[in-house]
Amino acid sequence: MSTLHFRDIHKHYARRTILAGLELCLRTGSCTLLTGENGTGKTTLLRILGGFEKPEQFAADTGHAQLNWRHYRKLLQSSVLYLHQQPYMFEGSVRDNLSFALDRSLPKAEREQRIHTALQWAGLEKIADTRAKTLSGGEYQRVALARAWLRQPRILLLDEPTANMDREARNRTISLLRQLRDDGMALLVASHDPECFSSLVNEHLNLSAGRLQTVTPASRFVNMTLLQQAS
């Protein structure tokens, strides 16, 4: 199985319908770009898929199992990671922040080795001992991506991951996202800047009036196993 198919997602705020029976497929090794005007519900959709917002209706299908909201919430803990536009940093250094992404039961030497590899992966070696809360926006995002790399979720949800970055920081972020995608993660990226993601995106969807419309269809999928443990 290589897809997670969401169906029939409804979300209202008071009497206002934000998502109206929305349908969406996420695929391993694939990046889906989500665009839409301000206020159309992109963040709301990501927050639902990240488990932070409860929808009025929800169904998902792994190909082997049907999931209701309760099942999906269980799956989320191990399989889905949501990165905010301003990722949260804990007090402490970049190294400490990466350490929080690791299972505490790992032996110390292995933790240190993994953190070292993650620092290299994201090009963070020079700022490993800098206080994370003092970093620039681009560095924040790279620490957050290094944490994702350590956690290895099957689905990574990103809200405006390149907002307010200069070109170099954007390129570095795209390059890290490409590696996560090519390692088999399913990426869902909300952005107002489709140009920025054009080299990364397999499918481009636009959210309007509570529904998704295909701008460009999924072009290439890697046949890997997504959410196998859910079945």
Ligand X SMILES: Nc1ncnc2c1ncn2[C@@H]1O[C@H](COP(=O)(O)OP(=O)(O)OP(=O)(O)O)[C@@H](O)[C@H]1O
Contact positions toward ligand X, by CB under 6 A? 13, 18, 36, 38-44
Q: CB 45 → ligand X: shortest distance, Å?
A: 7
- Compare residues 23 and 125 and give the one whose CB is closer to ligand X: 23
- Compare residues 38 and 105 and give the one whose CB is closer to ligand X: 38
In whole angstroms, give the CA distance from residue 40 to residue 13. Answer: 12
Q: Let me know: does 180 contact 154? Beta carbons within 8 Å.
A: no
Q: CB 47 → ligand X: shortest distance, Å?
A: 7
* CA 204 to chain centroid: 15
- Compare residues 38 and 223 and give the one whose CB is closer to ligand X: 38
- Compare residues 168 and 195 and give the one whose CB is closer to ligand X: 195
Q: Let me know: does 6 contact 60? Beta carbons within 8 Å.
A: yes
Instruction: Cite the DSSP H helix spans in the chain.
Output: 42-49, 69-79, 94-99, 108-121, 137-151, 167-182
Cα dihedral across residues 22, 30, 86, 214: positive or negative = negative
Q: CB 44 → ligand X: shortest distance, Å?
A: 3
- Compare residues 41 and 87 and give the one whose CB is closer to ligand X: 41
In whole angstroms, give the CA distance from residue 121 to residue 17. Answer: 42
Please give the backbone phi and psi of residue 165, each rounded to the nearest 5 degrees, phi first: -105, 150
Tell the residue number behind the tokens 């519900």, with chain if given. 41
Angle between helices 167-182 and 137-151 (to 10 degrees): 10
- Compare residues 86 and 179 and give the one whose CB is closer to ligand X: 86
In whole angstroms, give the CA distance from residue 112 to residue 167. Answer: 32
Q: CB 15 → ligand X: shortest distance, Å?
A: 11
Q: CB 174 → ligand X: shortest distance, Å?
A: 20
Q: CB 126 → ligand X: shortest distance, Å?
A: 32
In whole angstroms, give the CA distance from residue 38 to residue 57. Answer: 23
Q: CB 36 → ligand X: shortest distance, Å?
A: 5
- Compare residues 38 and 77 and give the one whose CB is closer to ligand X: 38
